[in-house]
Amino acid sequence: MNKLTIAFIAALLATSAFAQEKPVNLKKAPGLDVVENFCAACHSLDYIQMNSPFPSAALWDAEVTKMIKAFGAPISDADAKTIADYLKKNYGSGSGS
């Protein structure tokens, strides 16, 4: 097979994999729009739901801080607080998630 054929097949496989991915529906609550705008810009929102049984309020605060300081997410202090508050209230341990 030539390189063009291999690239075409790889593109088809990747397209079908993305087509099967289901949208992530987070809990409707204040701050959801900010979470969707900033968090989904870099990674899937699945991470929030997959990890939700475990993080305490302090761990969500640390995760938001890590995204800003370690990974360079361009998030203002006000938006970081909104994101952390949303995650703690809706996906933190003890939130009933």
Structure tokens at 76: 């203002």
AA letter at 94: G
Burial per residue of 47-61, b for 16 or more beta-carbon CB atoms within 10 angstroms, e otherwise: ebeeebeebebeebb
Question: Which of 2, 69, 78, 70 minimizes the C-alpha distance to 34?
Answer: 78
Average pLDDT, the chain: 84
In the chain, the domains with their CATH numbers are: 24-91 (1.10.760.10)
pLDDT at 22: 74
| pLDDT tens column, 63-85 | 999 999 999 999 999 999 999 99
Percent of the chain with pLDDT over 70: 74
Query: Is 53 or 62 the better-scoring residue by pLDDT?
Result: 62
